């Protein structure tokens, strides 16, 4: 029986893209949701200065436009950054992208950023280069970015009107002068949108990041999404405001509220209807720090600090990296074949939608012990198939026998974080979490251990919407 709607995963298929664009994104973990299961990125923190103030940022820490507040990166000189990239590139050959995302604005003192990119082009020609900026100076740098073959630029744009922008940015520093209030907001917005257009004109893929601040730009983000799509942006990444008071940001101290998981999903769904496809809205961002290293869900930065890499010899080999990446591509083909079965499912006539949580440590598989998870991937299952919704961070409750002893509260909190999900799919799960999950009506499922995520989510999820799961899953 054929599918009456279009039962399929909507999260990762890039085949609809023109080949030259597909080449730019197929192994970029931020530009392709599917790639993020397999490929890593790293940031080099070479740009400490900033030229604006955002009310969700505490300048003691990293740039919150692509980062969590409350973390500080080790600043590097361009030469140190290149050495670090070459070492990580061999240790983690699936690291395909180097980004510069602060810890301030990457273009406020652009020569360090450009110097780093120039050296990387020479020494690591197989790596994609990526830049993130608040957009104030982007227009002045587009030609240079083009010259250096920078294919990916992220601009943080939080508003369409200066009235809203004014509530987010108290001042900017531009052309040797400090601007405040509505004047600052006007200049910044104008420069951001002009920078976007200039990148698009130069064939640079643009991702727009927006910080979702429900009480301030909650209404306006739909307009932002419309506008950036019209101007040719490739992706819109709507990130939740983080405003815990302890981070000391203006919004945190003023008690400006963070969005709930549901509010975030609602605004992403609303915007995705503008793009007409789920692909336009990025949902897998981890708001990583300016010196992050590894898969998006992990951070191996502490393995590659200056003192640790000082005495390591550099043996960078493009060929050796290509061998590893070839294996990854073959693996992706196999996963894709496995997921194809989803397209042949029976017609489903219920409108029910449910959520499923997944514990994975990468490779596109359900391969993580429940207790080792520090985040869960959340998928929505409906008659249309499956859709990746977002990830939810939790505190890892099991670090081995000793640390588990005081993990009871953490465990309960973890389970609460996924309490709106029907089931959690993982490689293994102990008796204690199983018991607690009964109170929240979540089914622990480890029968699908080491299976491809999308295939397993569909197989398990469809049982819920078809009500075939009674007494089968919970044990
Ligand atoms: Fe870094 Fe940003 Fe490039 Fe990615 S991050 S500069 S596009 S390589 Fe990615 Fe991190 Fe989200 Fe940024 S998960 S914060 S979107
Ligand atoms: Fe902070 Fe980044 Fe905003 Fe500068 S652009 S104030 S570093 S969040």
**Coil, helix or strand at residue 110:** helix
Token pair for residue 323?
């061998």
Q: Over the stretch 180-223, which tens digit does the pLDDT of each residue have? A: 999 999 999 999 999 999 999 999 999 999 999 999 999 999 99
pLDDT band at residue 279 under the 50/70/90 scheme: confident
Cβ(30) to ligand 1 under 6 A? yes
Q: Is the CB of 130 under 6 A from ligand 1?
A: yes
pLDDT, mean over the chain: 88
Helices (H), 149-293: 162-168, 181-201, 214-217, 221-230, 250-254, 261-275
In a domain, 467, yes or no: yes
Q: Is residue 335 part of a domain?
A: no
Q: Which residue has the higher pLDDT, 9 or 21?
A: 21
Name the residue among 412, 446, 417, 448 with its Cα closest to residue 432: 412
What's the pLDDT score for residue 364? 85
> Residue 326: inside a domain, yes or no?
no
**Which residues, including other chains, have CB under 8 Å from residue 387's CB and lie 6 or more apart?**
9, 10, 11, 278, 379, 380
User: Looking at beta carbons, which pairs linking 9-17 to residues 24 or more positions away fall under 8 Å?
Assistant: 9/339, 9/342, 9/385, 9/386, 9/387, 9/454, 9/458, 10/277, 10/278, 10/279, 10/384, 10/385, 10/386, 10/387, 10/388, 11/278, 11/386, 11/387, 11/388, 11/454, 12/454, 16/279
Band (9; pLDDT cuts 50, 70, 90): very low
Residues 353, 304: one domain?
Answer: no
Instruction: Give the pLDDT confidence of 426-455 residue by residue, as tens digits.
Output: 999 988 899 999 999 999 999 999 988 988
Supply the residue whose CA is at minimum distance from atom 3 of ligand 2: 54
Q: Are residues 402 and 295 in the same domain?
A: no
- Could you list the residue range(s) of the whole structural domain that residue 431 is in? 348-474
Confidence label for 17 from pLDDT (cuts 50, 70 and 90): confident
- Which of residues 283, 309, 335 is at a domain's end? 309
Going by alpha carbons, the residue nearest to atom 7 of ligand 2 is: 63
Confidence (pLDDT) at 13: 66
pLDDT at 454: 87
231-245 pLDDT, tens digit per residue, is: 999 999 999 999 988
Pocket test for ligand 2, best of 48, 49, 51, 52 (most atoms within 8 A of CB): 52
Whether residue 267 has its Cβ less than 6 Å from ligand 2: no
Q: Give yes or no: residues 357 and 288 share one domain.
A: no
Q: Give how far Cα 151 sits from Cα of 23, 29, 100, 201, 238, Å.
A: 11, 14, 13, 12, 21
Co-location of 295 and 356 in the same domain: no
CATH number at residue 426: 3.30.420.130
Find the range with the poorest average confidence among 30-44, 346-360, 436-450. Answer: 346-360
Q: Are residues 244 and 131 in the same domain?
A: yes
What average pLDDT does the segment 155-184 reach?
A: 97
Q: Where are the alpha helices (DSSP H) in 69-180?
A: 78-91, 110-123, 138-147, 162-168
Report the pLDDT value the prediction gives residue 7, as an integer from 0 to 100.
Answer: 37
Peptide bond into 103 cis (omega under 30): yes
Residues 6+ apart with CB under 8 A from 456: 358, 366, 425, 448
Q: How far apart are CA 474 and CA 134, in angstroms?
A: 48
Ligand 1 nearest-atom number relative to CA 97: 8
- Best residue among 66, 116, 294, 300 to mutate for probing ligand 1's pocket (most ligand atoms within 8 Å of CB) is 66
Task: Check whether residue 291 and residue 423 sit in a common domain.
Answer: no
Q: How many CB atoms lie within 10 A of CB 457?
A: 30
Q: What mean pLDDT is predicted for residues 406-418?
A: 81
Helix boundaries (H) for 5-46:
19-25
The two structure tokens encoding residue 397: 């409750």
Three-class SS of 175-187: CCEEEEHHHHHHH
The verdict on 458 and 356 lying in the same domain is yes
b/e per residue 309-334 (b: at least 16 CB within 10 A): beeeeeebeeeebeeebeebeebbee
Pocket lining: 160 vs ligand 2, CB cutoff 6 Å: no
Ligand 2 mean position, distance from CA 37 (Å): 28
Shared-domain flag, residues 399 and 294: no
Residue 338 located in a structural domain: no
* Cβ contact 99:41 at 8 Å: yes
Q: Say which range, 145-159, 314-328, 383-397, has the weakest mean pLDDT.
A: 383-397
Q: Mean pLDDT, to the nearest integer, of 261-290?
A: 89
DSSP structural state of residue 439:
H
Lowest mean pLDDT among 18-27, 65-74, 346-355: 65-74
Of 374-388, 422-436, 459-473, highest mean pLDDT: 422-436
Question: Does any domain span residue 36?
Answer: yes
Residue 104: exposed, middle, or buried by beta-carbon count in 10 A (0-12, 13-18, 19+)? Answer: buried
pLDDT reported for residue 471 = 45
> For residue 215, is it within any domain?
yes
Q: Where does the pLDDT of residue 1 fall: very low under 50, low under 70, confident under 90, or very high at 90 and above? A: very low
Q: Hey, whose CA ends up nearest to atom 10 of ligand 1?
A: 288
Q: State in Å: Cα 252 to ligand 2 middle.
A: 15
Q: Is 161 in the pocket of ligand 2 (CB under 6 A)?
A: no
Handedness of CA 323, 327, 328, 333 (dihedral sign): positive
State the pLDDT confidence band at 342, using cuts at 50, 70 and 90: low
Among the candidates 284, 309, 334, a domain finishes at 309
Give mean pLDDT, residues 19-29.
90
What's the pLDDT score for residue 252?
A: 93
Residue 473, classed as helix, strand or coil, is: coil
Which stretch, 7-16, 273-282, 331-340, 364-373, has highest mean pLDDT? 364-373
Judged against a pLDDT cut of 70, whether residue 344 lies above it is answered with no
* Same domain membership, residue 292 and residue 185: yes
On whether residue 426 sits in a domain, the answer given is yes
Q: Provide, rounded to the nearest whole percent, the portion of the chain with pLDDT above 70.
A: 89
Token readout for 98 is: 């180097």
Least confident span in 272-276, 311-315, 389-393: 389-393
Same domain, 197 and 84: yes
Q: How far apart are the first and last CA of the chain?
A: 32
The CATH number that applies at residue 283 is 3.20.20.70
> What is the residue with the minimal CA distance to atom 8 of ligand 1?
99
Tell me the C-alpha distance between 466 and 204, whole Å: 45
pLDDT digits (tens, 9 = 90+) for 101-143: 988 999 998 999 999 999 999 999 999 999 999 999 999 999 9
Model confidence at 85: pLDDT above 80: yes
Q: Which of 162, 99, 82 is nearest to 133 (CA)?
A: 99
pLDDT at 285: 92
Q: Rounded to whole angstroms, how far apart are CA atoms 397 and 374?
A: 8
Last residue of a domain, one of 309, 331, 366: 309
3-class DSSP state for residue 349?
coil
What's 279's DSSP letter?
Answer: G
| 474 pLDDT more than 50 | no
| Residue 314 placed within a domain | no
The answer to whether residue 472 scores a pLDDT higher than 70 is no
268 plus 390 within the same structural domain? no
Q: 4 pLDDT exceeds 50?
A: no
Please tell me the total count of domains within the chain: 2
Are 27 and 164 members of one domain?
Answer: yes
Ligand nearest to the CA of 28: 1
User: What's residue 291's pLDDT?
Assistant: 87
SS3 96: strand
Which residues, in sequence order, are CB contacts of 180 under 8 Å at separation 6+? Answer: 170, 171
């Amino acid at each position: 029986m054929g599918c009456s709607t279009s039962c399929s995963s909507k999260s990762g298929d890039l085949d609809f893209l023109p080949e030259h664009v597909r080449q730019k994104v197929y192994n970029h973990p931020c530009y392709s949701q599917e790639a993020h299961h397999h490929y890593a990125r790293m940031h080099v923190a070479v740009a400490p200065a900033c030229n604006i103030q955002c009310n969700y940022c505490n300048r003691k820490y990293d740039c919150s436009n692509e980062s969590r507040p409350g973390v500080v990166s080790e600043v590097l000189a361009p030469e140190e950054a290149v050495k670090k990239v070459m070492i990580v590139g061999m240790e983690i050959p699936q690291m395909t992208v180097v980004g510069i995302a602060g810890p301030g604005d990457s273009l406020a003192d652009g020569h360090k950023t450009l110097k780093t990119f120039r050296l990387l082009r020479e020494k690591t020609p197989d790596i994609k280069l990526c830049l993130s900026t608040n957009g104030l100076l982007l227009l002045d740098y587009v030609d240079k970015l083009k010259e250096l073959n920078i294919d990916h630029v992220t601009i943080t744009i939080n508003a369409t009107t200066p009235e809203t922008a004014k509530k987010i940015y108290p001042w900017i520093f531009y052309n040797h002068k400090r601007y405040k209030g509505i004047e600052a907001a006007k200049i910044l917005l104008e420069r951001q949108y002009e920078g976007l257009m200039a990148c698009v004109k130069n064939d640079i893929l643009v991702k727009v990041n927006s910080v979702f601040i429900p009480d301030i730009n909650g209404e306006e983000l739909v307009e932002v999404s419309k506008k950036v799509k019209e101007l040719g942006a490739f992706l819109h990444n709507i990130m939740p405001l983080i405003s815990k008071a302890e981070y000391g940001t203006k919004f945190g101290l003023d008690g400006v509220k963070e969005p709930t998981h549901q509010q975030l999903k609602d605004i992403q769904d609303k915007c995705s209807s503008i793009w007409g496809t789920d692909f336009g809205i990025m949902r897998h961002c981890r708001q990583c720090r300016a010196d992050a290293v590894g898969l998006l869900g992990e951070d191996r930065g502490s393995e590659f600090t200056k003192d640790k890499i000082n005495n390591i010899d550099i043996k960078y080999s493009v060929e050796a990296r290509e061998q590893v990446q070839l294996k990854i591509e073959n693996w992706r083909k196999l996963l894709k074949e496995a997921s194809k079965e989803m397209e042949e499912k029976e017609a489903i006539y219920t409108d029910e939608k449910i959520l499923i949580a997944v514990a994975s440590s990468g490779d596109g598989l359900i391969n993580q012990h429940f207790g080792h998870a520090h985040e869960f991937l959340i998928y929505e299952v409906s008659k249309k198939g499956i859709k990746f919704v977002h990830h939810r961070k939790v505190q890892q409750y099991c670090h081995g026998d000793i640390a588990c002893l005081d993990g009871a509260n953490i465990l309960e909190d973890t389970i609460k974080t996924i309490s709106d999900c029907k089931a959690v799919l993982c490689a293994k799960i102990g008796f204690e979490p199983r018991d607690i999950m009964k109170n929240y009506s979540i089914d622990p499922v480890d029968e699908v251990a080491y299976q491809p995520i999308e295939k397993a989510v569909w197989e398990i999820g469809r049982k819920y919407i078809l009500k075939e799961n009674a007494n089968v899953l919970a044990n």
